[in-house]
Amino acid sequence: MLSVLLSVSLAVASEGPQRPAGPAPAPPAETAAPVTASAPVSPLVAALQRGDEHYARRGEGGRGAVADPSHIEAAIGEYRRALALDWSSLEARLRLLRAFFFRTGFCGPMDGRAEVALYDEAKRLAEETVALLDTETGRHKARVDGDAGRAVLPAAEVYLWAAVSWGQWAVYHRVSAAWQGAPKRIRDLGQAVLTIDPGAAQAGAYIILGRLHCEAPRIPMMTLWVSRQKGVAYLRQGLARAPDNQAIVFFLADALLSWEPERRDEARALLQRCANAQPRPAFVIEDQHYAQQARERLAALR
């Protein structure tokens, strides 16, 4: 339901600086830098680093828009190890929530029970993590002081990925999700992200709020605040902030077709833009995923 692209930048280097032929001259002995032992890395940091290395390689071995799950599963294992080393680590929690999203969203079909188990684990982890973070930021529902949130460096992304986890869980537990207040939780977390850092995760909060308003049912006494007009507006704002985020391009087109059919031509142009976009090196699988969805949507329009 709530697909958000990941806020990871991979530096792609080509060739290094050219050197003259032959070995480089050794520095004079009196100016050579002393050899020093590198500082030891804590087990927590080492686990996070290993997880990050696998996460950065999550698209390797993929087949078109479907990722090979081996690297993301290895990343999940390392992030779980990091969390076991420090239960209070927001960095470990953030990375684990983000990895769960990729595993369930971009690696093809899973065994049904295993998939629901991951959604349930992600939702429990999101609840715990938000409770930990709220004690530091003072957040109450959607209200959070921006300065307090920015003082905790991963706060915006933690709230964002918690909202994503709640959203995925809600898709598989529709009735119980409504009674547990999932739509309001997702809304409040998304609004908190906008207060702290609207650009977090490539304007991901605008996708969360846009999709929520466009897809959540309007239930008396529960979700009458849902507004299709607001949903489209959020997606437009997100696209203005992150024009290369292909998830926003696709979801705005989808929202226009559903709720503003008079803008069919604009929606078609957005779908063509998404379908023809060159996948970015850091988001190869994700961009191909939305390109494929855009092509399928275009074919259905004909």
pLDDT tens per residue, range 152-161: 989 999 999 9
Q: Please state at what angle helix 155-172 crosses helix 112-137, rounded to 10 degrees.
A: 150
Confidence (pLDDT) at 27: 35
Confidence (pLDDT) at 37: 53
Residue 288 has which token pair? Answer: 């191909």
Give the count of beta carbons closer than 10 Å to the beta carbon of residue 20: 7
Confidence (pLDDT) at 234: 98
Residue 206 has which token pair? Answer: 């605008």
Rounded CA gap, 108 and 262, in Å? 34
pLDDT below 70 — which residues of the chain?
1-38, 173-180
Residues 155-193: b if buried by 16+ CB within 10 A, e if exposed: bbbbbbbbbbbbbbbbebbeeebbeeebbbbbbbbbbbb
Residue 139 has which token pair? Answer: 């957040």
Helix or strand (DSSP H, E) at 118: helix 112-137
Rounded CA gap, 164 and 209, in Å? 10
Confidence (pLDDT) at 174: 66
Give the count of beta carbons closer than 10 Å to the beta carbon of residue 245: 26
CA distances from 102 to 5, 107, 110, 260, 297 (A): 9, 7, 12, 30, 22
Rounded CA gap, 250 and 276, in Å? 12
- pTM value is 0.84
Helix or strand (DSSP H, E) at 234: helix 228-241
Which residues contact residue 16 at a Cβ distance below 8 angstroms, ignoring those fewer than 6 apart? none
The half-sphere exposure of 161 on its side-chain side, counting CA atoms within 13 A, is 28
Spatial CA neighbour of 185 closest among 156, 210, 209, 202 = 209
Give the count of beta carbons closer than 10 Å to the beta carbon of residue 206: 29
Q: Residue 168: phi, psi to the nearest 5? A: -65, -40
Residue 155 has which token pair? Answer: 């706060």
Confidence (pLDDT) at 171: 79
Confidence (pLDDT) at 176: 55
Rounded CA gap, 227 and 252, in Å? 15
pLDDT tens digits for range 58-82:
999 999 999 999 999 999 999 999 9
For the chain, give the percent of residues with pLDDT over 90. 76
Rounded CA gap, 262 and 184, in Å? 30
